[in-house]
A and B are shown apart, each in its own frame.
Chain A
Amino acid sequence: MAAALLALIAAPAAAQDVAIVNARLAIGDGSAPVENGTVVIRGGRVVAAGRGVATPAGIRTVDAQGKWVAAGIVAGFTRMGIVEVDGVQPTNDAGAARARFNAAIDIAPAVNPRSNSIGVNRAAGVTRAVVAPSTGQAIFAGQGAVIDLGTDSDPITKARAFQFVELGEDGARTAGGSRPAAFAEFRNALADAQDYAKGARTYGADGHLLTKLDAAALVPVVEGRQPLLVHVERASDIRAVIALRRDFPALRLVLVGANEAWLAAPEIAAARVPVLASALADLPSSFEQIAATQSNVGRLKAAGVTVGIGMINDDEARQARLETQYAGNLVALTRVPGASGLDWGAAFAAITSQPAEALGMGGEIGSLRPGRRGDVVIWDGDPLELSSAPVAVWIDGVEQPVRSRQTELRDRYSVPQEGALPKAYERR
């Protein structure tokens, strides 16, 4: 097995300049796909992408033969790379139920680029992911990261890319049992952070509740230098969160989940708060999402909200690969009378550029516009269609394997009976 895994991960090590030509090109910025497109990647970044882009002399050229070539998927809210098997606690670093720290928790050191979730999702065209911790004993879960899904040893694109807080039913439970308790905890924490910012040496003399590390971690939040991802679902909770900016005007809010956001779409748009929405949640799974509908994303987009797709509470440690299917379903809604969906370009943007924009990283990842990281996928069909799969993946301009442990197992058992030796001897 060790040998097989080594073989699996022995991918090209360095970025190689490449031009992918003859592509049906999806840039990820919301535009419709274009025929006969070209992508040029140099030094690990996109130099140009579109029609009529010249192929530089002397670099590797890949003929896509008319296939779909698209920006890599940016998974909007996940716990990829920090969980190997959800039910096996020692492999699950998403949350710490008995931790003494909260906002200070930084998940970046826990991200394991060899986790099978990363391999499986990479093979499905996911190239970047927003990775969030989950809460322990406080409403603040800690600081999440943006990662790449490459085979190299450094998965971190941006550590401490955001702080994550629970303020709906989950936040209420964590805070002791009510929403008001959660909001009190929130205000106290940010007040502690403000005190800490005024003087780290005197911090704690005033009976602050937060540890120094937690207070320090919230300084960039209260000062608006770090996005604050807030999980809420109910429309009234969303309004209450937006109202926090009256007292903490610098907050860079991003809503997560937000199944009832369509009921507050004008306020969200006016407040310029982006959303990482659960694409297809349409059940009243709890009393905070009684009005859930698959049309949520379409209605938000129509109202002018920046909305990307996230995976909260949806097998987010391993199934971000479903985001292409989810985005396709949002296109399907455009043909359902009375429903609101997204056109293809907007749906694809919801799983590429829009999550990046929500985190303020749209200049870095999420599209094939010039200057972005060289994350590009050649697909054997429409990336949003159920029958499609990647045939080639580049991350930071480095070509990646599209095999995983799952394909190894599949091949071992393509004929289930043993041959001349036990199955344990069958490997590539």
Chain B
Amino acid sequence: MSIKRLAVLLLAGGAAACTQADSRPQTASATPQAERMRVNPDPYPSTYRAYPGVPTRVVNVTIYDGEGGRIERGEALFADGKVVAVGQTVAAPADAVTVDGTGKWLTPGIIDVHSHLGDYPTPAVQAHSDGNEATGPVRPEVWAEHSVWPQDPGFSRALANGGVTTLQILPGSANLFGGRSVTLKNVYARTVQGMKFPGAPYGLKMACGENPKRVYGSRNIMPQTRMGNIAVDRQTWAKAQEYRRKWDRYEADGKGDPPTRDIAMDTLAGVLRGDILIHNHCYRADEMAIVLDMAKEFGYKVGTFHHAVEAYKIADLLKANGTCAAVWADWWGFKMESYDAVNENLPLLHKAGACAMIHSDDANGIQRLNQEVAKALAAGRRMGLAITDEEAWTWLAIAPARALGVDKWTGSLKPGKMADAVLWNGNPLSVYSRPEKVWVDGALLYDANDPKRRPVSDFELGQPGSGDVK
């Protein structure tokens, strides 16, 4: 199935599907059914197209499939942008290119559920500081994709050094409601639309804790306290419920003028309908527990807590709520709410049966997410948590794919999925290994052995060090 068709199917199946892009309010008092106003859920649609690849068979390679499976001296075949087969041996067409994977590892491309590439790009000058609309604590109307600079040099490092093929760009955490996220394929394009992961659902960035209350409290604007954070959250969700009711009623009976359009409330109504996934920056265990109750109070689901430094204290609660934790391996102590970090957060969550994954939140860290997993895994083993390497790779692959709602298409090396894959020049949980080749939708977009397969953003072109190994 082509990516375009997948995207169309998803839109048609969505609860807020649209038949026309016109979102202007219509004033006729008795609008005919066929002309009823619908909110277009996808006004900046993806124009991403997979680049051409060649049928490729990797042989004699150790495979982590991204869902916890492992094959020694196995084979994998990609063709037409898709994973065709993975196994001990695979049948390949005569024209397939064969890559010898002896001593090497093949994994799904790494997925980073928390990045600010593009909205806090390098060079990190004030003119590029586009990640926090810190003009009010409730800003669900902003969309990260409207800030993403597709020429951020960081995308190339994440690809070549990090093996990252999919990433979510989030607004920052200054606000309680930070705005919509966007999920990208890690493929340079002239426009952000050209990078958008086709069919990926939107996310809503929320934040608890120190940041919102500090940013606004210091200006004597609510919230100034943690209780203020939750009060503003609840008032906002109550409004969103009302907004959603009005639109649901209008869409059901089609009578009268459409309700006044509110771009902020569109996003929140999308969350309440289950179309937009919650990505909630939250460090402390007690605050996460409050947020989980708030979500029940207003009828939405917290998909993933991000940073979740104290998630290990409530692994059971997270499991019971079906809420994921996206964490660092070892960041700690830079502020009060990160003071209780432990190196074993990720393995403790995993062993408790909670959904867990690694994340970067950092243009350097995104280049070493495999290493971050290796550190966390080793810390867990030292305390007696038996987790295999291939299980740990789920923290880089299927877990973040699920958190982003793109696991139907990527996040593991399963037949029919996008051929997003990395060939590592050694054990990818070793500090001594690096990506050798990275494919996105079957297209070879990085090859350590071919300087021409090394992306250089417009910003770096013609500058000192342009095209250098980075």
Contact = CB atoms under 8 A, between A and B. Distances in A.
A386 B374 contact: yes
A263 B312 contact: no
- Chain B interface secondary structure, helix, strand, loop or mixed? loop
Size bracket, chain B contacts:
35 or more
Given A315-B331, A337-B448, A413 B433 contact: no
A84 B123 CA distance: 29
A137 interface: no
B315 A87 contact: no
Contacts of A280: 364, 367
Nearest to A83: B333
Contacts of B122: 283-286
A293 B431 contact: no
B465 A291 contact: yes
B153 interface: yes
A75 to B, nearest CB: 15
Given A280-B364, A413-B313, A332 B344 contact: no
Contacts of B382: 380, 389
Contacts of A63: none
Interface string B374-410: 1101110111000000000000000000000000000
Interface string A98-137: 0000000000000000001100100000000000000000
Contacts, number: 168
Interface residues of A, number: 58
A295 B161 CA distance: 13
Given A325-B375, A338-B451, A409-B342, A285 B124 contact: yes
B36 to A, nearest CB: 49
Interface in A370-392: 380, 384-389
Contacts of A386: 371, 374-375, 378, 429-431
- Chain A interface secondary structure, helix, strand, loop or mixed? loop
A285 B333 CA distance: 24
A292 interface: yes
Contacts of A32: none
Given A285-B124, A386-B378, A409 B340 contact: yes
Contact of B374 (A317, A387, A410): A387
Interface string B419-437: 0000001100111111000
A284 B334 contact: no
A154 interface: no
A409 B425 CA distance: 37
Contacts of B44: none
A351 to B, nearest CB: 13
A294 interface: yes
B125 interface: yes
Interface in A193-247: 235
Contacts of B210: 87
B468 interface: yes
Given A285-B123, A406-B343, A409-B342, A116 B153 contact: no
B464 A87 contact: no
Among B316, B431, B468, B469, the one with the most A-chain Cβ atoms within 10 Å of its Cβ is B431
Interface string B274-313: 0000000000000000000000000000000000000011
A295 B468 contact: yes
A86 B425 CA distance: 38
Nearest to A334: B432
Interface string B306-342: 0000001111110000000000001111111001111
Interface in A332-390: 332-333, 335-339, 380, 384-389
A283 B464 CA distance: 12
Nearest to B454: A338
A371 B334 CA distance: 37
A414 interface: yes
B469 to A, nearest CB: 4
B383 A410 contact: yes
A416 B314 contact: yes
Interface in B234-282: none
Interface of B: 122-125, 153-154, 157, 161, 210, 312-317, 330-336, 339-344, 348, 352, 363-364, 367-368, 371, 374-375, 377-379, 381-383, 425-426, 429-434, 448-449, 451, 459-460, 463-465, 468-470
15 contacts: A84-B333, A87-B210, A280-B364, A282-B470, A284-B463, A286-B122, A295-B468, A325-B371, A332-B433, A333-B469, A335-B425, A336-B448, A384-B431, A413-B313, A414-B383
Given A286-B122, A293-B469, 20 more contacts: A85-B336, A282-B161, A283-B154, A284-B459, A285-B123, A294-B469, A317-B334, A328-B431, A332-B434, A333-B434, A335-B425, A380-B382, A385-B430, A386-B374, A406-B332, A406-B341, A410-B383, A416-B312, A416-B352, A417-B316
Interface of A: 84-88, 116-117, 120, 235, 260, 263, 280-287, 290-295, 315, 317-319, 321-322, 325, 328-329, 331-333, 335-339, 380, 384-389, 406-407, 409-411, 413-414, 416-417
9 smallest beta-carbon distances between A and B, as pairs: A291-B465, A328-B431, A87-B335, A387-B378, A386-B374, A291-B464, A410-B342, A339-B469, A282-B470
